[in-house]
Structure 1
Amino acid sequence: MLDVMSLSYPFQTLLLGCCVTTPSRRYLSKTRRCLVQATPPSSVILNADGSGKFSEKLHVPNLDSGRGAPFVIQGSAVGIIGGVSVDATLKFLRKLVEFSSQDGVNSTPFVLCSDPLLSKELLSYERSYFVSSTSKAENLKLDSSPIVQTLRNKRVFLENSGTSCIVMPCNVSHSWYEQVSEGCSVPVFHMAECVAKELKEAKLKPLEAGSPLRIGVLATNATLAAGFYKEKLQNEGFDVVLPDRATMEHTVIPAIEALNRKDMEGACNLLRIALQVLLVRAANFIILASDDMRDLLPPDDPLIKKCIDPMDALARSTIKWVKSSGQNT
């Protein structure tokens, strides 16, 4: 029997517990109990058994406004705001669990807000920066204020629910990090800052003596346009290598197009070319800051050794903070 609790309603899904992946299957470990307050019904709590069926319905308030706390966590947890890709969010959850515990029993507890409408809005925003390799049209820039407000609502909800810190395992969401985190009473970790600090602490040696440490960043147009990876890396003293226009138009964008067509081989080959171009420009390592491209290369690909997954740094930094602050009880 899986003791798992989730809230499912038209605009938001919230999961309280831990998600673990093994080579053969995925499963959810025991969740940490929460105190549910008596409130007017507008959503449903569902308990899932081992067969995946749901039962024991319990109404809870609408969470989309971010107001109030429909439940209070007993013991602190990590608050997670989902982004463009549900798969990427689940990947972060697995990392959070696996990095904090070998068996998943004493892993870091979490509360996840995953909103399908927010995912759709983020995807539309990201695609507004996407220019086809055969198109000369200028990028359309969508109004991002609804996205910012939704992200803030999720942050306020998680903050009021008693989480000890908040993370956004989504690259493009960090385009509005300052607006989302402003006024928050708990730490909101910045994924690019976590990566930059880890690289600084690693005390890397440059490819050539006397030359600067150079870190490449490969991402979508929307993430690169936001500029936060470049800013955070430069703050730590790194030179930053970004793909030039030709690389974006002839390798990165076509790779995403191939991925959307389910042409995995073509997407992999194009991604390899894009990575090699950055490495030729003397980048020590490359931050692969794209949910679409992160899992394209097989684990045994030699280029993987030169790539950095920002989610690894975000998960490690989160766990480190929780443990150092004595929150994981």
Structure 2
Amino acid sequence: MALSFSASSYPLYVANNVNKHEKKPSVIRSPPSSSFALRSCSPPIKADHSINNSSEPQRICSQENTVGIIGGVSVLSTLIFLEKFVLWSSREERENIPFIVCSDPMVVKDAYKSSIAMSSASHELVSDSNDEEISAGLDRVRLVENLREKRMFLEGGGARCIVMPCHLSHAWYGEISQGCEQPFLHVAECVVKELKEARFRPLEVGSCVKVGVLASDATLVAGVYQEKLQDQGFEVVLPDKSTMENIINPAMISLKQKDMKGARNLLRIAIQVLLVKAVNTVIIASHDLQCLLPHDDPLVKKCIDPMDALARSAVRWAKSAKLHKRNLNSIPNY
């Protein structure tokens, strides 16, 4: 299935409803702020630019295996995740899994401010005034409330499972998922599950399996992956201060300056720094860094893209939910 996106001045939420009786995806609108929509390109659909004034979510997917996707802080990262999701869902059979996507660019602004505050805390920057701390707190509250509203919107629209393809957003997973009535997959738990299934052996005698994590300051400070890994017996190896200051952060700067070659070389060095510490694999918990290495680079085999694990877990859930319903429907009534 081909995917495209369209920008508009109002948020557009689109469901990929694969019900055989419904050829076109359902489209609804709601006022908050600018957003993007995904839809099947065959046949092309013109979005209705009327605004639905109702604040109540409309159930637009009735299938038991509908997946709701809260877009990340980057539209591109959301699109990449959807490509992974569609790819994994159609590998074994030609039946796409129904999904609803909700993405709001205002989340980017709030998430950026919150990440700056978290990064500042990691560097122990102290302000002479409480104004910045109060502002950061308000940004965080607004961000969490925004993401929670997106989650509830997806639930009201018919999503029976929620995923959030964004590393940084998982810093507030507990608050966003509070009160959620449907399964809400945590990206780190999905990664840990696959690591356990891989049955790695320690590379050093007398040591446990080591897993490296490369990410931005904010994601590392939030501990999105560390706690989940440690709870399952893995030893987490993080880049030290020197690596962050001299390799990771300069790689991020090179990316912003569109120096792809420089950023790619720095990333290779960062991965090697962790590999010499006897890690079995390296989790690259950054959408920007993840896209740097070409697929045929030998280091790619040593690394994990958490969004692959999240997409596979969502697909497994959807297929399991559909099979469960099929089995229930096959039970005869006496």
For the superposition of Structure 1 and Structure 2, which TM-score range results when normalised by the shorter chain?
A: 0.7 to 0.9
CA distance in 1, matches of 2:173, 2:307: 16
- The equivalent residue for 2:61 is 73
- TM-score where L is the length of structure 1: 0.82
Q: Identity of counterpart residues, as a percentage?
A: 45
Deviation, structure 1 residue 286: 0.5
Deviation, structure 1 residue 87: 1.1
Q: Summarize the Cα distance change of 1:45–1:227 in structure 2 as closer, same or farther, 3 Å threshold.
A: closer
Contact 1:267 1:296 (8 Å CA) reproduced: yes
**Is 1:107 the counterpart of 2:106 in the alignment?**
no
CA distance in 1, matches of 2:295, 2:168: 25
- The equivalent residue for 1:322 is 318
- The equivalent residue for 2:264 is 268
* Structure 1 unmatched runs, 5+: 19-29
What SS class does the counterpart of residue 84 from structure 2 fall into? helix
Contact 1:85 1:119 (8 Å CA) reproduced: yes
Moved more, 315-324 or 175-184: 315-324
- The equivalent residue for 2:71 is 82
Contact 2:14 2:25 (8 Å CA) reproduced: no
1:257-298 per-position Cα deviation (integer Å, ceiling 9, x unaligned): 000000001101111111111111111100000011110011
Moved more, 6-15 or 283-292: 6-15
**Is 1:13 the counterpart of 2:1 in the alignment?**
no
**Is 1:55 the counterpart of 2:46 in the alignment?**
yes
Contact 1:6 1:15 (8 Å CA) reproduced: no
Letter paired with 2:60: V
CA distance in 2, matches of 1:101, 1:271: 32
Contact 1:113 1:154 (8 Å CA) reproduced: yes
1:23-69 per-position Cα deviation (integer Å, ceiling 9, x unaligned): xxxxxxx98656789x9999999998969986363635258xxx522
CA distance in 2, matches of 1:179, 1:279: 35
Match of 1:254 among 250, 253, 261: 250
Match of 1:236 among 227, 232, 236: 232
More helix per residue: 1 or 2? 2
Q: Summarize the Cα distance change of 1:40–1:279 in structure 2 as closer, same or farther, 3 Å threshold.
A: closer
Q: Summarize the Cα distance change of 1:90–1:299 in structure 2 as closer, same or farther, 3 Å threshold.
A: same
CA distance in 2, matches of 1:124, 1:42: 19
Q: Summarize the Cα distance change of 1:136–1:181 in structure 2 as closer, same or farther, 3 Å threshold.
A: closer
More strand per residue: 1 or 2? 1
Letter paired with 2:113: S
CA distance in 2, matches of 1:42, 1:59: 14
- TM-score where L is the length of structure 2: 0.81
- The equivalent residue for 2:83 is 94
